[in-house]
Amino acid sequence: MAPSLPTIQPGDVANAEKARAGGSFDAGEAVEHHGALFDYLLRLGDDSLILGQRLTEWCGHAPALEIDLSLANIGLDLIGQASLFLNLAGEVEGKGRDGDRLAFHRDVLAFRNCLLVEQPNGDFAQTIARQFLFSTMQLSLFERLTGSSDHRIAEIAAKAVKEVRYHAELASDWVVRLGDGTEESRRRMVDGLDWFWRFVDEMFQSDEIEQSLTRAGIAVDRAELRQGFDATVGNVLRDATLPLPEYPRALTGGRIGHHGEHLGHLLATMQYLPRTYPDAVW
Amino acid sequence: MSHDWPLWEVFIRSKGGLSHKHVGSVHAPDGELALRHARDVYTRRLEGVSLWVVQSSDIVASDPDQSGPMFEPAETKIYRHPTFYDIPDAVGHM
């Protein structure tokens, strides 16, 4: 069963932006997002948080015990990154919210992750396709963020970049193994990459928020990461004897809170406990 | 899937200068992936600085049925322990 797609198109995003300023669609968000840095930290943190949560869904279900642990390790690394970014976001916001508050008590429209990370796991090849595309992007992003003029971001990136390098290597390795494996593994790998290709462009999109932070030396121009990404993906797919996916229609919207239906389901699972029992502690 | 994969024995060097010690085993289709699996299963809590994996079928093991003739003769030869010999101070730690 193919999961349904978010319907947001690049043209719609522009319209949604206009509507947001005066409209009621997510009027609450305008009040909440008073700083570009806060928004940027949410983007970084939410990407890691949502993908980390997705990966935990493999716990106890992976094709082998060893892979179960591989995926859980990656998920835990990502949730650790999310915790650092979201705690910092809360600090920057200055309203007394910490990382947990931002992770567990925020509604779906306030999430700033890209659409790729919220997509369902599918089969193992599809999960690997998503991990490969995301970690390859995230590695180049964090490599550059280690030079951020905001030392707090630079420090988080420096810690995370080692983790992400391993994620990218592990995922690339599996892309080659599955792509250049059996007829069935190859078919599944091709399908997985095809499915996720439509979410690639969004990972490299920038907007006024990121451009202003880039000018200040805090953020990284995502468009500059694309060339390196394309080269790495090209090399790995060549090793895997796989064709480069071609998908004409890119889907975007995650960075301004326009998500697919999948994110709501994910959050329902993730946020259920702290929302039902707000006083619960470890 | 893992049922088709051979077993690999995992050895970890906990820090520089120490020997690799056996810690367990993983399933993997080849050595490269066995190393990844060993890393993911056995070094999550900073257990080591170096990993070895050896396919279990490549290990030549002693026969448990032969443990009598193999090991028991050593039981009565306590004089083989170096504690019976005086080590000159000049030698230092051996």
Name the one residue in this structure whose structure tokens are 């929302």.
A275
Q: What integer pLDDT is reported at residue A261 of this predicted model?
A: 94
> Long-range contacts made by residues B75-83, C-beta under 8 angstroms, separation at least 24?
none
Which tokens is A216 given?
A: 């200040």
pTM of the model: 0.84
Is the Cβ pair B2, A63 closer than 8 Å?
yes
SS3 A165: helix
Residue A98 is given by DSSP the state: -
Domain total of chain B = 1
Is the pLDDT assigned to residue A142 strictly greater than 90? yes
The model's pLDDT over A37-71, given as tens digits with 9 standing for 90+, comes to 999 999 999 999 999 999 999 999 998 999 999 99
Of residues A63, A66, A177, nearest to B40 (C-beta): A66
Is the pLDDT assigned to residue B34 strictly greater than 50? yes
Q: Which domain range does residue B6 map to?
A: 1-59
The model's pLDDT over A57-112, given as tens digits with 9 standing for 90+, comes to 999 999 899 999 999 999 999 999 999 999 999 999 999 999 999 999 999 999 99
In a domain, B77, yes or no: no
The length of chain B is 94
**CATH number of the domain that B53 lies in?**
3.10.20.520
Residue B46 is given by DSSP the state: S
In a domain, B83, yes or no: no
Is the Cβ pair A65, B2 closer than 8 Å?
yes
Nearest to A146 by CA among A172, A125, A164, A131: A164
Is the Cβ pair B41, A64 closer than 8 Å?
no
Domain ranges of chain A: 34-276
In sign, the C-alpha dihedral spanning A197, A203, A204, A207 is positive
- Which residues in chain A are closer than 8 Å to B1, comparing Cβ atoms? 63-64
| More confident of the two residues A248 and B64 | B64
In a domain, B11, yes or no: yes
Superfamily of structural domain A34-276: Ferritin, core subunit, four-helix bundle (1.20.1260.10)
In a domain, B18, yes or no: yes
Nearest to A19 by CA among A230, A277, A276, A258: A258
In a domain, B28, yes or no: yes
Residue A274 has φ and ψ, to the nearest 5°, of -65, -25
Q: What integer pLDDT is reported at residue A24 of this predicted model?
A: 46
Is the pLDDT assigned to residue A129 strictly greater than 70? yes
In a domain, B93, yes or no: no
In a domain, B47, yes or no: yes
Is the Cβ pair A66, B26 closer than 8 Å?
yes
DSSP sequence for A210-259 = HHHHHHTTSS--GGGGHHHHHHHHHHHHHHTT-PPP--S-----GGGT--
Nearest to A5 by CA among A211, A247, A239, A171: A247
